[in-house]
Amino acid sequence: MATPHLQGSMGDYAPVVLMPGDPLRAKFIAETYLESPRLVNEVRGMLGYTGTYQGIPVSVQGSGMGMPSIGIYSYELYHFFGVQSILRIGTAGGIDERVKLRDVILGMGACTNSDFARQYRLPGTYAPTASFRLLKAAAEAASAQGLPVHVGNLLSSDTFYDDADSLAEWKRMHVLGIEMEAAALYMNAARAGKEALCICTVSDCPLRQEYTSSDERQTGFTAMMELALETVKRL
């Protein structure tokens, strides 16, 4: 069945979905890496494709920016299209001193300043974490590729421009990087009994005033894309 944000029906999406924020990155991944990709969604310009990677069914679906947006798309994929695993492949700002421009981060956990968890009415603070199975597969795939990765906490923030200038405080907790989606994705996966992992390329290091270009963010971070696809092969 179609949903308010995704067209098509059960079977249009593979059990595993790669989810970049940028729909044009979804298009690039599908056209570059997938065999026989077909367009399965273009509602609101949020492009989604399904094809195969070395014979394995896989989909790529844009999520947009921020927790409200990925919260919608991941919820609908998990609940209405039979998706079991979502691997977010996005960008992050490096916070920890060990993290450099273009490094890859595997988000084991996702701190957040969001109230996304309030909907669950939990009697405490929820700690959003990745699926260990996906995290282990990604770490093993990275090792096999000779790709160094950082594994640890991300910060999923509701704000891109932060007037509080709070990154220095998160740095003291050795949070690796800041992005805007992982915590909501991890919570949706947990609630649905499904799996999720966030794989991020460091596109900027705001505390050091280091940045990449928009063109590089759209099509240049191929190591992250290839790592995600090799992770799918190990599932």
Superfamily of domain 16-233: Nucleoside phosphorylase domain (3.40.50.1580)
| Residue 204 annotated to the active site | yes
From 22, 165, 204, 215, active-site residue = 204
Q: What's residue 215's pLDDT?
A: 81
Residues of the chain with pLDDT under 70: none
The answer to whether 131 and 196 have CB atoms below 8 angstroms apart is yes
Tokens of 38: 């077909």
Q: What's residue 8's pLDDT?
A: 84
The answer to whether 28 and 63 have CB atoms below 8 angstroms apart is no
The answer to whether 181 and 63 have CB atoms below 8 angstroms apart is yes
Tokens of 65: 């920016």
Kindly give, in sequence order, each residue whose CB lies less than 8 Å from that of residue 61, ignoring residues fewer than 6 positions away.
6, 13, 17, 18, 19, 26, 41, 46, 47, 48, 49, 73, 77
Q: What's residue 102's pLDDT?
A: 95
Q: What's residue 233's pLDDT?
A: 97
Please give the Cα distance from 131 to 85 (Å, whole number). 9
With tokens 């997938």, the residue in question is 34
Least Cα distance to 210 among 177, 235, 180, 182 occurs for 177
Q: Say if strands 210-211 and 195-205 run parallel, antiparallel, or are unpaired.
A: antiparallel
Q: What is the pTM of this model?
A: 0.96
